[in-house]
Amino acid sequence: MAPDPAAARVAEADSLYQERGDLARAEQGMQVLRDAVSEDPNSYDAWWRMARLDNFLGRAQEDKDDDKAAERDFEIGADAGRRAVALQPNRVEGHFWLGANYGLLAEDEGWIKGLRLLDSVRAEMESVIRLDPNYEQAAGQRTLARLYYRAPFFKGGDKQRSIQLLEDCLKRFPRDSFSLLYLGDDYLAVGRREEARAMYQKILDLGTDPVYGPELAKNQSEARDRLQREFRSGK
């Protein structure tokens, strides 16, 4: 088998991704991946990593309230995801990061305008669940649950179904801060306030995470904001 000409760059990008909490390192990793696909346009491993890193960078732009920059990153990430899926339709990574970028694009556009993307998000996450239900701590099922939470009823929105899916995710990955945050939001939406409070508090109690450190920090900030907003007056 011929060596993958992009393999060294992909390995370098992986090392930089581990330091993504420093946005300069994340941007450096993105440039390395651009070089990789320029060298080998058929590198599945580079394309899906671009989709993942663009997703991260788009979230960082949202934190800075730069919605246009975030939308641009998610669009580029979705394009990278589509390229990955076209190259390896039976691999899980491309499907997940394509769907994740579609989902955040839908949120940025507002769910009314973003309705056009919901079926695509659902299809990609169903593929993820079929190919590897445990990928990224059951992220396919977790994202599908979030879709049920956010979507209007006429597009399949169902908060009770979302709760069922997230409770199952947490049985398998009890320290997943995304599932804890999303389940807290679900509980809050259906009036289960004390259970919502408990979910948000669990996120704050998680401590550190060597794999998902930047994501945990963001989710802890979100949980802190929800606790202050919803429960500061003992409501």
SS3 sequence, the chain? CCCCCCHHHHHHHHHHHCCCCCHHHHHHHHHHHHHHHHHCCCCHHHHHHHHHHHHHHHHHHHHCCCHHHHHHHHHHHHHHHHHHHHHCCCCHHHHHHHHHHHHHHHHHHCCCCCHHHHHHHHHHHHHHHHHCCCCCCCHHHHHHHHHHHHCCHHHCCCHHHHHHHHHHHHHHCCCCHHHHHHHHHHHHHCCCHHHHHHHHHHHHCCCCCCCCHHHHHHHHHHHHHHHHHHHCCCC
Q: Are residues 167 and 123 in the same domain?
A: no
Length of the chain: 235
**145, 162 contact by CB (below 8 A):** yes
Q: Are residues 27 and 105 in the same domain?
A: yes
Q: Are residues 16 and 128 in the same domain?
A: yes
Q: Which two tokens stand for residue 195?
A: 């259970």
Answer yes or no: is pLDDT of 125 > 80.
Answer: yes
Give me the chain's average pLDDT, please: 93
Average pLDDT over residues 141-161: 91
The answer to the question of residue 93 being in a domain is yes
Same domain? 112 vs 205 = no
In a domain, 153, yes or no: no
Q: Is residue 143 part of a domain?
A: no
Residue 146 covered by a domain: no
For residues 231 and 167, state if they share a domain: yes
Residues 19 and 126 in one domain: yes
Could you tell me the residue range of the domain that residue 51 belongs to?
Answer: 7-132
Do residue 11 and residue 126 come from a single domain? yes
In a domain, 105, yes or no: yes
| Cβ-contact 203, 218 below 8 angstroms | no
What percent of the chain is predicted at pLDDT more than 70? 95
Q: Percent of the chain having pLDDT more than 90? A: 83
pLDDT at 116: 83
Is residue 111 very low, low, confident or very high in pLDDT (cuts 50, 70, 90)? Answer: low
- Residue 216 sits in a domain whose CATH number is 1.25.40
Same domain, 12 and 84: yes
Q: Is residue 138 part of a domain?
A: no
- Does residue 176 register a pLDDT over 80? yes
Let me know if residue 211 belongs to a domain. Answer: yes
Contact 73, 58 (CB under 8 A): yes
Residues 6+ apart with CB under 8 A from 208: 216
pLDDT exceeds cutoff 60 at 188: yes
Q: For residues 29 and 125, state if they share a domain.
A: yes
Residue 233 has pLDDT above 60, yes or no: no
Residue keyed to tokens 């948000």: 200
* Same domain for 165 and 119: no
pLDDT at 211 over 70: yes
Are residues 222 and 111 located together in one domain of the fold?
no
24, part of any domain: yes
Average pLDDT over residues 198-227: 96
Contact between 147 and 106 under an 8 Å Cβ cutoff? The reply is no
Give 1's pLDDT tier (boundaries 50, 70, 90): very low
Stretch 170-195: mean pLDDT = 98
pLDDT per residue over 48-94, tens digit each? 999 999 999 999 999 888 889 999 999 999 999 999 999 999 999 99
Are 14 and 127 in the same domain? yes
The CATH number of residue 117's host domain is 1.25.40.10
- Which amino acid makes up residue 168? D
Count how many domains the chain has.
2
| Tens digits of residue pLDDT in 4-59 | 778 999 999 999 999 999 999 999 999 999 999 999 999 999 999 999 999 999 99
Give the span between the Cα atoms of 193 and 123, in whole angstroms: 32
